[in-house]
């Protein structure tokens, strides 16, 4: 197996040197396609612009394995010999590791294709970082006949031999908002002749900060962060327009819905109180990444044969794998990729991965697929 894992390491390092942004993964897709064709794995006609879907085996049940392939707009500072050769773009989230893990699993599953009792569908998904890719895959129709889907994300805080799972919420549901306020501009010396956009904005921000603290149970984890605010261009004029933006994170779909409803009420009522106009824009963002309880328990035990399995600590980050889980049962794991006390986190310009983690990530795909084929047969 040493030669097998050495080849995977070389493959990941190649992909790490050649990262591509969300929706622009053309060379990555060509590389994946050739890799799979060399293994004589059939590639489906999905009409995806980037990314691809392939299959091993035949018949029902169909189990899907998913890996994301896009990188981030970050200047790499690792000084690794295989650091990014695409300035300003980096696999700072480890998607090079994810897709290479699925390539390794594909090779092993292909070698046992004649014995498979069902189909393994391989999803190399684009544009996870922009929360678009999963919906593009769902739009192909290749999820409608799938019984269950399996995915993972590397986690630098876990050691390379560890795998973390839990039923229910694994990653937060995400709301991204932008609130735009329009008042009436006036000279700063005559604010009575205008409608103060700055006061309206800051009053909204202050009121929203108590939304989680005073309306949500202290036993639930929720976050509301306002991260960007702009208004005005000079010191002596009340601006006509301004805005702020930020995010809401929740592990409970019902809490997420209630927070959004209360957010809208506070913003609209504050605008009305000051006589300003307001509009709220909500981006397309993923819901809660919610693991099927029965399947998670099954894979938790099954994974003990190749990893140290621990109970996962949920992450407040978002993950568009959640869109799949709205359609079919799914299990999403965290796989250790560093484990050092000072390991740089995801999306950091010095984030690195311990290649020994392949010895957990590849079996996770393979053994989970085989286990679920048996489960649904």
Give dist(CA 5, CA 12) in Å, integer: 11
Q: Range(s) for CATH 3.40.630.10 in the chain?
A: 1-171+288-375
Q: CB of 365 within 8 A of CB of 150?
A: yes
Give dist(CA 102, CA 112) in Å, integer: 15
Residues whose CB is less than 8 angstroms from the CB of residue 52 and which lie 6 or more positions away in sequence, other chains included: 29, 32, 33, 36, 43, 44, 46, 124
Give dist(CA 242, CA 373) in Å, integer: 54
Give dist(CA 226, CA 247) in Å, integer: 7
Residues whose CB is less than 8 angstroms from the CB of residue 273 and which lie 6 or more positions away in sequence, other chains included: 203
Is 153 annotated among the ligand-binding residues? Answer: yes
What pLDDT, on the 0 to 100 scale, is given for residue 217? 85
* Averaged confidence pLDDT in the chain: 97
pLDDT (tens digit, 9 = 90+) per residue, 167-218?
999 999 999 999 999 999 999 999 999 999 999 999 999 999 999 988 888 8
Nearest-10 Cα torsion for 286, 292, 293, 294: -170
What pLDDT, on the 0 to 100 scale, is given for residue 1? 86
Q: Which fold has domain 1-171+288-375?
A: Aminopeptidase (3.40.630)
What pLDDT, on the 0 to 100 scale, is given for residue 271? 98
- Closest CA relative to residue 64, chosen from 171, 147, 170: 147
Q: How many residues does the chain have?
A: 377
Mean pLDDT value of segment 239-265: 95
What is the percentage of the chain residues whose pLDDT exceeds 90? 95
Q: Range(s) for CATH 3.30.70.360 in the chain?
A: 173-283
pLDDT (tens digit, 9 = 90+) per residue, 89-115?
999 999 999 999 999 999 999 999 999
Confidence at 253, pLDDT banded by 50, 70, 90: confident
Mean pLDDT value of segment 325-345: 96
Relative to beta strand 330-338, strand 173-182 is unpaired
Residues whose CB is less than 8 angstroms from the CB of residue 205 and which lie 6 or more positions away in sequence, other chains included: 226, 229, 244
Is 93 annotated among the ligand-binding residues? Answer: yes
Name the token pair of 170: 């694994």
Beta strands in the chain (DSSP E): 42-43, 52-57, 62-68, 119-125, 148-159, 162-165, 168-171, 173-182, 186-187, 222-231, 237-238, 241-250, 277-282, 289-291, 308-311, 330-338
Mean pLDDT value of segment 20-30: 98
What pLDDT, on the 0 to 100 scale, is given for residue 216? 84
What pLDDT, on the 0 to 100 scale, is given for residue 176? 97
Is 129 annotated among the ligand-binding residues? Answer: yes
Mean pLDDT value of segment 61-88: 98
Name the token pair of 349: 């310009």
Q: CB of 167 within 8 A of CB of 297?
A: yes
Q: Which fold has domain 173-283?
A: Alpha-Beta Plaits (3.30.70)
Task: Give residue for tokens 């795998």.
Answer: 163
- Judged against a pLDDT cut of 90, whether residue 265 lies above it is answered with yes
């Amino acid at each position: 197996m040493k030669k097998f894992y050495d080849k995977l390491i070389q493959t990941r390092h190649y992909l790490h040197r050649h990262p591509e942004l969300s929706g622009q993964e053309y060379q990555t897709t060509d590389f994946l396609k050739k890799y799979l064709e060399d293994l004589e794995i059939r590639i489906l006609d999905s009409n995806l612009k980037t990314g691809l879907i392939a299959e091993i085996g035949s018949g029902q049940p169909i189990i899907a394995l998913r890996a994301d392939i896009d990188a981030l707009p970050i200047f790499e500072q690792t000084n690794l010999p295989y650091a990014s050769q695409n300035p300003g773009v980096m696999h700072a989230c480890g998607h090079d590791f994810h897709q290479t893990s699925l390539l390794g699993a594909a090779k092993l599953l292909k070698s046992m294709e004649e014995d498979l009792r069902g189909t393994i569908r391989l999803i190399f998904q684009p544009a996870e970082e922009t929360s678009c890719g999963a919906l593009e895959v769902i739009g192909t129709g290749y999820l409608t006949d799938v019984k269950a889907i399996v995915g993972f994300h590397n986690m630098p805080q876990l050691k390379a031999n560890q795998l973390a799972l839990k039923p229910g919420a694994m990653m937060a549901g995400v709301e991204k908002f932008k609130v735009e306020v329009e008042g009436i501009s006036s000279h700063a010396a005559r604010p009575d002749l205008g409608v103060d956009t700055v006061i309206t904005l800051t009053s909204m921000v202050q009121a929203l900060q108590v939304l989680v603290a005073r309306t949500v149970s202290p036993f639930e984890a929720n976050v509301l962060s306002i991260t960007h605010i702009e208004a005005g261009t000079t010191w002596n004029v009340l601006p006509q327009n301004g805005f702020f933006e930020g995010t809401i994170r929740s592990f409970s779909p019902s809490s997420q819905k209630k927070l959004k409803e209360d957010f809208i009420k506070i913003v609209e009522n504050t605008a009305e109180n000051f006589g300003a106009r307001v509009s709220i824009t909500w981006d397309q963002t993923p819901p809660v990444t919610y693991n099927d309880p029965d399947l998670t328990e099954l894979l938790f035990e099954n994974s003990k044969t190749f990893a140290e399995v621990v109970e996962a600590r949920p992450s407040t980050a978002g993950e568009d794998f959640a869109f799949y889980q709205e359609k079919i049962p799914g299990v999403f794991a965290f796989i250790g990729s560093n484990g050092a006390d000072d390991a740089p986190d995801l999306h950091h310009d010095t984030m690195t991965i311990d290649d020994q983690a392949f010895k957990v990530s590849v079996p996770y795909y393979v053994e989970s697929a085989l286990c679920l084929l048996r489960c649904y047969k």
